[in-house]
């Protein structure tokens, strides 16, 4: 079970944001940022990735050291996305007018939204007879 912070948007839209580590942000960096509508972060990380690739392509001397340096820089970026990705997404939601309502424990974000909208049900009780 994971904890999710529940946000309600101006139009009544409900979003669940997982607390803690963001695997999608870690593995997919700028793709995740684009899907999460964090446009400036996505463009910045994509451009940084391109710069690191260009630096690596034009490194004639000490290519192994340049490779390790660029890989280390990119891993730092990936860890920032993993550690801070959900917090950045929460800030983006608040900037769009979403309001934090509560924290819930649930299996995944879809169930958290479902249970938040239907508060009479308890997590784990759906489908049990």
What is the reported pLDDT for 128? 44
> What number is the average pLDDT over the span 111-124?
78
Give the DSSP H/E element, type plus range, for residue 85.
Answer: helix 63-95
> Mean pLDDT across the stretch 88-108?
95
Q: Model-level pTM?
A: 0.81
Q: What confidence score (pLDDT) does residue 122 get?
A: 54
Residue 105, beta-bridge partner list: 3
Percentages helix, strand, coil for the chain, rounded to the nearest 5?
55, 15, 25
What six digits make up the tokens of 128? 């049990």
How high is the pLDDT of residue 119?
A: 81
Query: Is the CB of residue 86 less than 8 Å from the CB of residue 104?
Result: no
Residue 124, pLDDT above cutoff 90: no
The tens digit of pLDDT for each residue in 64-85 reads 888 899 999 999 999 999 999 9
Residue 32 parent element (H or E): helix 23-35
| Percent of the chain topping pLDDT 90 | 75
pLDDT of residue 129: 41
């Amino acid at each position: 079970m994971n904890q999710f912070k529940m946000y309600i948007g101006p139009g009544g839209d409900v979003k669940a944001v997982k607390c803690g580590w963001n695997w999608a942000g870690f593995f997919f960096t700028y793709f995740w940022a684009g899907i999460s509508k964090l446009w400036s972060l996505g463009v910045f990380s994509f451009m940084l990735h391109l710069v690191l690739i260009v630096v690596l392509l034009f490194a004639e001397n000490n290519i192994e050291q340049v490779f390790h340096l660029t890989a280390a820089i990119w891993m730092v970026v990936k860890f920032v996305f993993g550690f801070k990705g959900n917090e950045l997404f929460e800030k983006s939601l608040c900037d769009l007018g979403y309001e934090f309502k509560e924290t819930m424990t649930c299996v995944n974000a879809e169930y958290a939204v479902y249970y938040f909208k239907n508060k009479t049900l308890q997590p784990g009780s759906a489908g049990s007879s």
